[in-house]
Amino acid sequence: MRDEAEHQAESAALGFGVRRCRDAEGVTDGRLRAAIALVALAGAAVAAYLVYARYTHTQIACTTGGCETVQHSKYARIGGVPVAVLGLAAYLAIFATALSARVEAAAIGAAIALGGLAFAIYLIVIQVAVIDAICQWCLASDAILAVLAVLTIERLRRLARSPHESSGVARMATRG
């Protein structure tokens, strides 16, 4: 009972429903959200560079020699929108979900990261099997998406098992 009272007092002191409950590993949700936010910003920086290069017609710095080939292939656009723009939007959306302590935000962030990772795997296959060129910036983005997928799933897992869920969804579901 004392732990619950301490948690409520801490949550009230923090305001806006933000919680700092520690899980079994001793990591606060705030720290995990901060890590997600930082990694998402790194991904946004990579995507922003590719968007900038595309719209300013700047040659991409590339050690693999395939970046320009990949970026100008028919697979670099979906419905007329450059894939880099979609990636930038996805990274910024994941960043935004990290700003909220709600389980719904965690679920949205995980869904975006997993969807992005699935699409990234498809694009790796296209680079290797169809375009026959590798873009180092794309691979960097793919690695960042993989890290984000792990972090966002871990965040969602921790929130789903936490008895102190700030949105109340987990408490309602466990009441029966």
Name which of 1-5, 106-110, 171-175 the model is least confident about.
171-175
Instruction: Give the pLDDT band of residue 29 (cuts 50, 70, 90).
Output: confident
What pLDDT does 127 receive?
97
Q: How many domains does the chain have?
A: 1
Buried b / exposed e over 134-171, threshold 16 CB at 10 Å, is bbbbbbbbbebbebbbebbebbbebbeebebbbbeebe
d(CA 111, CA 51): 23
Look up the CATH number of the domain holding residue 44. Answer: 1.20.1440.130
pLDDT of residue 17: 39
Mean pLDDT of 6-33: 54
State whether residue 26 is helix, strand or coil. Answer: coil
Q: In angstroms, how far apart are the furthest CA atoms of the chain?
A: 63
Q: Which helix (H) or strand (E) holds 87?
A: helix 83-98
**CA atoms lying within 13 Å on the CB side of residue 29:** 26
pTM of the model: 0.78
Check: CB of residue 127 under 8 Å from CB of residue 70. yes
pLDDT digits (tens, 9 = 90+) for 99-155: 999 999 999 999 999 999 999 999 999 999 999 999 999 999 999 999 999 999 999
**What is the model's pLDDT at position 28?**
78
pLDDT in tens, 89-99: 999 999 999 99
Cα 23 from Cα 29, distance rounded (Å): 8
**What range does the domain containing 97 cover?**
2-175
| For residues 36-40, average pLDDT | 98
Backbone dihedral angles phi then psi of residue 82, each to the nearest 5 degrees: -60, 140
Distance CA 158, CA 28 (A): 10
